[in-house]
Structure 1
Amino acid sequence: MRHRQNPTLPPAPAPAEPLVPPAGDPADQEREAGVAHLFELHYSSMLRLAVLLGADDPENVVAEAYYQIYRKWRRLRDVAAAEAYLRSTVCNLTRMRIRHLQVARRHEEKTPDETVVSAEHAALLRDDQRVLIDALQQLPPRQREALVLRHWLGLKEGEIAAAMGISGGSVKTHTARGIAALTQAMEARR
């Protein structure tokens, strides 16, 4: 079905020139032409695929897939298999982004519903937090650092050891002593 052009609208713009002029190398020209042809043929179906797979930003997923195939064009053994490679890349990128979003959502700070919490409970909680922070500040620097890295940033023992420049055993010692001191300070308060 052909659409007639509306006489009141200006004619469609001419195709844009490529952003990067093709280099003199025939392999570069072949890559430019191949990716452009692949884009013309499969962009909309790749976009649909990303949407159906649940990508939150399907345009970016497809753009990244085309970028990856552009970079790896010379290493493709079979240029005819480029569509399959592109499809696989869209699937993998979508899967990675969904996984990333799930992890990010799991680690979002959950704020308590202020309307449900009583004023007394909120005051006691703030008071406990203040006491805990004061007790944390009273700890020796290594114990405080180990506890903050472990419980605030969620680092593992090896990561803490690397960040502090100490052994894993020292991390365990500083963490255990810090927890014991904080527990004692909180118990003394009650």
Structure 2
Amino acid sequence: MTGALTVAAAPVRAGAGDCTAIESRDADHAVTLLYASQYRSLVRLAAMLVRDAGTAEEVVQDAFVAMHGGWRRLRSTDKALLYLRQSVVNRSRSVLRHRAVEKYAPKGRPDVPSAEARSIGELERSAVIDALSRLPARQREALVLRYYADLSTGEIAGAMGISPGAVKVHTARGMAALRSVLERFE
């Protein structure tokens, strides 16, 4: 999706220089301050990378959640912003990779008939072929040219060397004979 990229305001306001609290080990307070001061700039960064405001917000929120969960593993709390930026860039790359894969991935499995349906289809086909073989030659020719070769009445008349009216008669009689044979099949 491309369109106007608007960024929602962060719910908490704080100055960009409030890094003293970030150095504390209180993850909730530190992440809240970082969120308040850096959310908008991180969303702008992500939006430039993924070109979608909604996805950009998700990327940034996921980065904040991951940082909050791993707060104790941060070696230096003053590098939390660097961690967030790198996390946003990596998550944006991941989104773009997934988009590329989805673009070329199959959209689902094609409908495959069941073994029973295939078996019934084979039986029906063989019944039609058997019924066709029992028809008089002219009726069989007219039906095959009409329904298998998909020729028009005029083309069939030319191929068989008969009039279009005769083609219609042979086709109608052939269909009636097929119908009676196939009704017994059902």
- TM-score of the pair, normalised by structure 1: 0.43
Q: Find the structure with the greater CA-based Rg.
A: 2
- TM-score of the pair, normalised by structure 2: 0.44
